[in-house]
């Protein structure tokens, strides 16, 4: 009789543990690697990880229609710096001959740089990332 009670308790504990694990794992966002993102089509609070050869960039889209978001940089592979507001322009190879820079507006594309404005789109605040080696989008 005592052994049946112990087995029953063990079974209930195991069931509770498995249910808790399923809930915990189900609530964690997963990352899906993509080669191209149209950021105008995203929903607010979408998180994107952009990997270059020297850093990881965490981008949270706050207003997809205007290309606004919040960006954080990680250069040491461990800790992100403080978040900054950003305005996204799109994918680019960067400056070409004659100082011309062609931008695929509204797109983040693997193999290309991302042109963005830190805080606003004034010329002095525009920067290019290094070419993106990998793009991960967080999905629920």
Q: Which of 45, 63, 52 is nearest to 138 (CA)?
A: 45
Residue 7 lies in a domain: no
Report yes or no on 3 lying in a domain: no
Q: How many domains does the chain have?
A: 1
Lowest mean pLDDT, pick from 19-33, 58-72, 81-95: 19-33
Question: Is 105 a domain residue?
Answer: yes
pTM of this structure: 0.73
Read off the tokens for 120.
């606003």
Distance, CA of 128 to CA of 124 (rounded, Å): 12
Digit-coded pLDDT (tens) for 115-134: 999 988 888 888 999 999 99
Q: How confident is the model at residue 101 (pLDDT cuts 50, 70, 90)?
A: confident
Show the domain range for 107.
Answer: 31-139
Task: Work out the pLDDT band at 16, boundaries 50, 70, 90.
Answer: low
- Whether 16 is in a domain gets the answer no
Higher pLDDT, 8 or 117: 117
């Amino acid at each position: 009789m005592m052994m049946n009670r112990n087995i029953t308790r063990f079974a209930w504990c195991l069931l509770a543990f498995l249910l808790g694990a399923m809930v915990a794992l189900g609530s964690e966002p997963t990352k899906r690697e993509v080669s191209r993102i149209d950021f105008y089509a995203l929903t607010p609070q979408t998180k994107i990880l952009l990997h270059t050869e020297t850093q990881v960039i965490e981008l949270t889209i706050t207003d997809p229609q205007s290309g606004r978001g919040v960006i954080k940089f990680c250069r040491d592979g461990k800790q992100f710096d403080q978040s900054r507001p950003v305005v996204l322009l799109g994918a680019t190879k960067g400056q070409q001959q004659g100082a011309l820079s062609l931008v695929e507006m509204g797109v983040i594309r693997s193999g290309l740089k991302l042109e963005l404005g830190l805080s606003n789109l004034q010329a002095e605040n525009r920067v290019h990332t290094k070419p993106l080696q990998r793009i991960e989008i967080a999905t629920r």
